[in-house]
Structure formats: structure tokens, C-alpha cells
Structure 1
Amino acid sequence: MYVPRTRQFWAVSLSHFALDVIMSSIPVLLTFVSLYVLPLSAVQFGLIVGLMQLMGAVTQPMFGWLTDRVGGRWTGSIGLGWTAGMLLMALLAAESGQLLLMAFVIVITALGSGAFHPVGMKYAAESHPPREASNMAWFFLSGQMGLAFGPALVGLLLENAVPVGNAFGAALGSGLAGLLQERGTALPAVWISLLSLPGLFLILMYLPGHRAHRAAVAAGKEQTRGNKARAPLSVGVLLIFLVMVSLRSLGSPGVVSFIPFLFQQKGWTPAEYGLIASSFWVGSGLAGVFFGGLADRYDRRLVIAISMLLSAPTFFLLPLTDGVPAFVLAILAGTLSGASHGLIVVLAQGFLPASKALASGAALGLVFGTGALGSAFIGWLAGIIGLGPSFQLVAGAIVISGLMTMLLPAQARPAEAAAEVLPARSSQGEVKA
């Protein structure tokens, strides 16, 4: 099995892991804050998370444009450092009781994510051009592992920060149960920001600065001169793609941010609802490489559609379960819904083969942007009909999205990809598949 080995690749991939640990910890952190520090409704929770995700999505094209001109060393390192620093500021705002300030800082934390992702995708793909697709799959895997690790880690850090005053009050009897009040503290979560330090070092060491970047751009223009092929992309196909991705994003990442909130309402501890959120992302991360291999062999649309249709029942049943079955469903939901994440980017690249960087950024921005709007919508909807029924309505949207995938035009595999699918032994004796 191919595993990337270049320093440039691992600089951006390890940084991707650290950044997504921080970003994925925020919904768990907000869940804890809403219960023990600053009260938050489902509507407020959804609005904060949604605006944060939207900020990261809409700024990616701008930072991608900047990276194309100045290189990724400073854009990537500042983006990662900004994310870690803003987490600390958000924790301080929560501790001081400043709800609006905390919400504002959390939202602008996503500027760091918007800055880093174009850098990461660019240099992961370019670290070994003959293996661009494989490099991208591993790059996304590192991020998904960060998404899986973050909620569990912050849940464990906050486990001992839960106040015990209410428990003592309850022991005194119903007449005195409300007399003892104690606030929790979210400050232990600050330790996860330290995970950014190795990534910062690697980016500064191994990503090109402005001068080296300009030299690489000049060399690349000579190699790609005259390659201006256009893909047959009609308005109808574009609209189908936009609606399909938007409905799919209601599930992941839209409703996923509410998994900690859902199980906190069932009485789970921070460690428990952090762990179930992590279990979703573990399934999602491992699925990408496997389903990517299937998409190399079969119709990409069919692989996406089947994975989405199979994921819908897991989202529908998740609010109805508790205990071990809930963990099983969360893993299945992550595995089946996460399978389409990287494949959506591949579909977009197929529509614009001469502008793959633009297609990748636009597709990822669309996923995150519609997921952000979806989080805000789900928070509003949960305030009206409840969080459980909101999960079940999202399951219906995922079914529609999966069916719409088959309305997109089929894409022929490139000759190189087709050759990779055929088992062939390399000069080193490795079997390629």
C-alpha cells in the first residue's frame, strides 16, 4: 500500500491533524460551556457553530488566491497559529462571562482554518505529483483523525472540571437542592492548543517561502503551457451538483456538530459525549481510503449514492438509541457519510479538469459553507421541533441527495487512473491497485 514519504507532505498533514483537533473540539467545548459556564440554547449553539463553519468556508478562496501568489509558508503557519491562539481567547471570554465576545472569537477562529486548508491541499498534492489522488486521500485522513481525536481529548480534559455543588445539593433533599451552585471551568481545554507547535515548526521548515514559490510557479507555467482543455459543464449539471452537495452537507458536517448536544441532553458526561463524537469521525476518516479505491474501480456516482443512502437510516435512528448501540450507529454514520467527502472533490475536478485547484477549493468551500448554513438551520429547527426530530428530517434530505447524485453525468476515468486499477507489479515488487 502506498504511503506518502516526503517531508512537505507530512508537514501539512500533521498540521492538518492538529488544526482539526482544535476545530472539532469547539462543539464539545460549547456543550460544556452551555451547561456549566454560560447557558446556551440550541438556537444559539447552532448559530455560533454555523457562523464559525461559514467563516472557514467563504474565506478559503481568498486565502487560496493569496497562497498562489506568495506560497504557503506564512499563510499556513499564521493560519495554524491563529486557530490555537483564538481558542485560548475564546476560553478566557467564556470564563469572564462574556457570551457575545466568546461567540465572536469562536467565529473568527475559523479564519485560521480558511487560511490553512488551501495551503494543505496544494502542497499535499504537489509533494509527489504522480500520486496526487493518493496524497489527497491521506491528507484528508489526517484531518479526519484530528476530527476524531479532538472531541474525545477535550471531553477527557473537561471531565474533572464538572462542578459538584449540585450533586451535594441534591443529596440534601428536594427542599435544599438549589442552594448550592457552582460554576465549571473550561480552561483545561487550553492544552489542546499546544498540539499546534510541531506543525508550526514543520511548516516553517519545509514549505517554500515567497522566493522559492515564485521559482516553482515559473517552472510550472513552462510545463503546462497550452493545456487549456475545458470540461463540458452545463448550468443544469452545476445546479444538480450544488443541490446535491447542499443536502448532503446537512448531515455531514451540518448535524454532526449537534451529536455532543444530543447526548448531553440524554445525561451523558463530557467524556462520554466527546467520545461518541470522536467515534463518528473515526469511521469517517477510515472510510475515505477504502471508498476511494471503490470509486477508482466503479462509477463514482454510484459509490457516492450507495454510501449516502445507507447512511440515512443511521442518522434517523441515532436520536432513538443510547449506550453501546449509539456508538455503533455513530461509527456507521461516520463511515457511510464520510465516504463521499473526498469523492465530491474528485467529481468537481472531473468537471473542471484544467482547473483542478479551483475545483477542489470551490467544492470544499461548498461542503463547509452549506454545512455551516445547515448547522444554523438545524439549530433553529431544533428550537421548534426538538433535536431528535431534526436529525430524522436530515436523514430524509440525505436520501434525496443520494438519489440526485445519479442525475450527474458519468465521468470517464483518466487513462492513468485506469492503468493504476489493473494489478501490476512495480520494479520494486509492489502490487499496485
Structure 2
Amino acid sequence: MSDLYGRHKAVLPDWLALYYEDPLEITHGEGRYVWDAAGKRYLDFFGGILTTMTAHALPEVTKAVSEQAGRIIHSSTLYLNRPMVELAERIAELSGIPDARVFFTTSGTEANDTALLLATSYRRSNQILAMRNSYHGRSFSTVGITGNKGWSPTSLSPLQTLYVHGGVRTRGPYAELSDDEFIAACVADLEDLLGHVRPPAALIAEPIQGVGGFTSPPDGLYAAFRRVLQERGILWIADEVQTGWGRTGEHFWGWQAHAENGPPDIITFAKGIGNGMSIGGVVARAEIMNCLDSNSISTFGGTQITMAAGLANLTYLLEHDLQGNARRVGGLLIERLRAVAAQLPGVREVRGRGLMIGVELVKPGTDTADPETAAAVLEAAREEGLLLGKGGGHNTSALRVAPPLSLTVAEAEEGAAILERALRSTQ
């Protein structure tokens, strides 16, 4: 056990998850690569949990942070803040929400917590619809709407949560149906549920479930849900903490795969927008955002240094068409991994879109999750210089592949080759 690991265990909580039997200290990074304390280089296919979205040590972002730090780092939201206004203007326009207002937080958890406050206040209801297998954060309220027991340590909650079918396409009671039949069954289940309860405040849903193992419904499910919700005045909150900013390749936001009825009422975001800086936030139309009847502030949300990073990162992302790169390189990577999976009975499914790819592992010949093999693949990949994530609602048996969106074709092939060897060595 390293000295740093021993010190970690002595002062930090036991429930603070660490990857690997011998936990890794990352000391620096560049582009799509990071280095550990021993000087070993790794291709990063997880980006600090989808947070280093553009690249490690991106010069445009580090320059913006350095220059802003030389002027002023922080003043709180009690004062006018030019970088915060400028980033809010750009996000409001990109959101697709008419007459949008933006509130900045420091994390996705806090963003979802704020969205829940807005929705329950606006609708005067503490009932929330959430998806099975979902994850929305680690605060008291967001744990209370998380549909993944591995990340929900208490059933106590200030909210009454009702869980809906549909977030996982290939498991559950509707898995054998066609896409159209699947959507129809999920909508019928939602309508039946709503017939038995007082009208909830909102449905919160990740367009692609992140911690749940990069699972998703057929395109159009949330549009079909939205028709039902709008008839009853129920809001739709799209949790774009992991799917936003072009990661899926085909769309800038995950909700756009379900866009028949227009944008959500509320969008939450975080992670990639700051490329490692602590930025989260909420976008909502003005009548919802302004419904609170008391004062509020955010001491660290929207601070000048994080807003400078967000502006530089968003500019780089758009000017270099990283959404298009995610579509092109991610499409090649998915096909490469599916070709490998076809030869391995322990790989149940390769799914996802863009550079948000899940590889679900099972015990060969069964549908039983295999978290032990998933952990072994993570270790084997690390030994060869590749960092992956894991997740899933069935005992974390899905590998999560989510590199920075600037990934090159050569790097995608390098990572796929390492992952193939790791999978074969553990089957």
C-alpha cells in the first residue's frame, strides 16, 4: 500500500470509491493522455468521469484560467460578473429554451438539486417522476430520486419519488418488444401510474443514463412521455450532466433525440463544460426560473475563474467541431468494439452513441451480470496503459468508454486494441 493511499484511508470516508486494487495517482496530463506518479503514461478513456471533455491541459483553457486568475478569481453572485453573463448568454442560446434563464452551480449534483427546487416550487408538489436505473447526484434530494441502489445509501428523502420504465432498452419487462412497442408500453405504464397519484411536479431523466452503464431508450421515448406530461402540466427536466455539449455526436444535447415536442422545461448541465473546472448549472424558461419568492445566491457558482474556463472551452469545442469528431471517431470506435464483442460470449452488448459507449459484461451463456470480470478488465486495461470507467444497474458490470471529444482515429484504435486484449485475457 502506497504512503498516499494509507494517508487517504486515514482521513477520508470509507465510502469514497477508488478504482483499482492499487489506486492510481494521476499527476499530469496532455491531450488524451495522463501520467501517474511513477511516470507511466495512460490513454484516458474516462476523462475524470466525462469531465475533461476537450483535452487535458488544453492551452486555450489554461491560458484563460491563468489570465483571469491574474485579475480576480472570485467575488460571489452579489456583484455583476462579466464572464458569468457572457457564458450564460451563450448557454441560453444553445439550450433551445425560449426566454431562457441560466443559474450556475459548482456541480451536477447541485444543478439537479436546484432543478428539483424550481420544479417543486413552481408546481407546488413534492412528487417527482424518475427513471429506473438513473443517477442524479449525491446530495440528500438527488439520492432520493436516484433509481440505482448501488448509489443510493438511504431511502429517506424530502421528495416522494415514483419510478418509471424506459431508461434501459434491453432489460426489464419490455425488453423483447420492438422499439415502437417498447415506447407504447412505457407510455401506457406512465399513464397508468399517473392515474393513481396526485400530479407530480416533474419527470427528471438522463437522455443516456451515465452511472447506469450508458443505457438509453429508443429515440422518441421522452417525446412520447412529454405529450402525456404536458396534458397534465408536469415539467420535464433533462439531466444533461453527462450527455451535453456534443458528446453523443449526433446531437449537441441528448434531449434532441426526443425533440418532437420541443426542448425540455429545464436542462441541467455540468462536467464537460468546464473541462475540469467546477461548473454546473440549470437552464429554464423565465417563468420557472423566477418562481422562487425569496432571495438566493451562489457563493462559488459562476465564479470568474470557472466562467473564463467555460467560455474558452465552449469556444474551442464549437470552433473545432468536436461534436462532429465525436460522431465520426465514436462511430468507428463503436463498430470496432462490436466486432470484438461478436467473438466474445461474455460481452452482452456494446451500446451508446458518439464518444459515450457502454460495454456490458455477463457470465458467458447467460444474462447474469459479471462485475468481477468487469473489475478484472479495468485492471488488465490499466496494466496496458488504458483508463476506463465502469457502471450499470446490475452490479456495475458495464465498462464505460468516454474519452475527450478531441480523440483521434489513431488513439481510438490504440484504446480499442488494448481493450480487446483486456477482454480476451479475462474471458
**Global fold match (TM > 0.5):** no
User: Could you state the TM-score of these two structures normalised by the residue count of structure 1?
Assistant: 0.26
Structure with greater contact order relative to length (CA < 8 Å, sep ≥ 6): 1
Work out which of the two has the higher radius of gyration on C-alpha atoms and give 1 or 2: 1
Larger helix proportion, structure 1 or 2?
1
User: Could you state the TM-score of these two structures normalised by the residue count of structure 2?
Assistant: 0.26
Larger strand proportion, structure 1 or 2?
2
